Structures are given as structure tokens and as C-alpha cells.
Amino acid sequence: MYIGFSNVQTEKLVVISSQRQSVIDCRTREKVYCEENFDELDLFACAEPLRDELVPIAGEGGGGLRQYSPVGDILDRAAPFWPREQIIFMPRYTSWYQCPEACTVIFDDYAPLAFGFSKCGNYMAAATSSEVNIFQRTGE
């Protein structure tokens, strides 16, 4: 239903589904289930592993995650084969339209609910109603 990256522990991703809420460490892939605690009107979540932090969330009720990383990477949405949608990773201010060979389609499926970068830019996530895909930056 919703995802959101912690702004304090930037490798942590809050995932809220219809069954439960969890926090995923994107670095180690460890998943910790926690008590469901989120606000669909103000679009934030709390999770015990993140202490008192209010984590901004995005998903079926709106909101948005970062579309740019600190080093200029960009995520964009396109639908050249609608109703399938793609999420495109464009490194360091590269334009998908001017230099498609330098870009990577990281998602090609139906109805992404939310996608974006963590605050540090080392992690990306794309979520649908049935799955979450997490990507981690590797060496340059």
C-alpha cells in the first residue's frame, strides 16, 4: 500500500501492506516486522526500529518519494507500451530522450504505486500492490 525511506537511517525502507508493516534494511536485506502505525491523511509512518522518526510515505493514497539523488541520478516514469509502465534510471543528469543507451529500465510492469530514491541516493525502490523491488548502488 505504501513505502517510504527513513531520512535518518537512509538505508531503511518502511513497507506497509494490507497484512502488516515492516522495515527493510536495504543494505543487508534484513526485514523486521513491527506494529502498524501510519497516517494516510498526512502520509507518514512510525516504526519502532526507527524510534520517533516520522517517515514520509507514498503509495495508493498519494505522496511521493525523491525522484533525484544527490549526485544527479534521476528516476522517471514512462508508458510506451501502455497499460504497462516503466521506471527509468537516468544516471547523473542523463536524459532518457537524448541518450537512451546510457539509461536503464528498472521496472516494466503494471501500475507502480510508488518509486524513488533514499535520501542518500544509494537505494531505490519501486512498489506495486503485490511487490517491492529494491535496488542498491554498487561501486562507481
Write down the pLDDT at residue 140: 55
Write down the pLDDT at residue 137: 86
> Using one digit for the tens of pLDDT, what is the confidence trace for 39-94?
999 999 999 999 999 999 999 999 999 999 999 999 999 998 899 999 999 999 99
Indicate whether this model's pTM tops 0.75: yes
Neighbours of 2 (CB within 10 A): 25
> Using one digit for the tens of pLDDT, what is the confidence trace for 102-120?
999 999 999 899 999 999 9
Write down the pLDDT at residue 139: 63
Q: C-alpha cell of 126?
A: 519501486
Which has more pLDDT, 120 or 18?
A: 120
The Cα-based distances of 66 to 33, 62, 118 in angstroms read 24, 14, 7
User: What size, in residues, is the chain?
Assistant: 140
The Cα-based distances of 34 to 12, 50, 69, 77 in angstroms read 13, 10, 28, 31
Does 31 score more than 80 pLDDT?
yes
Write down the pLDDT at residue 26: 96
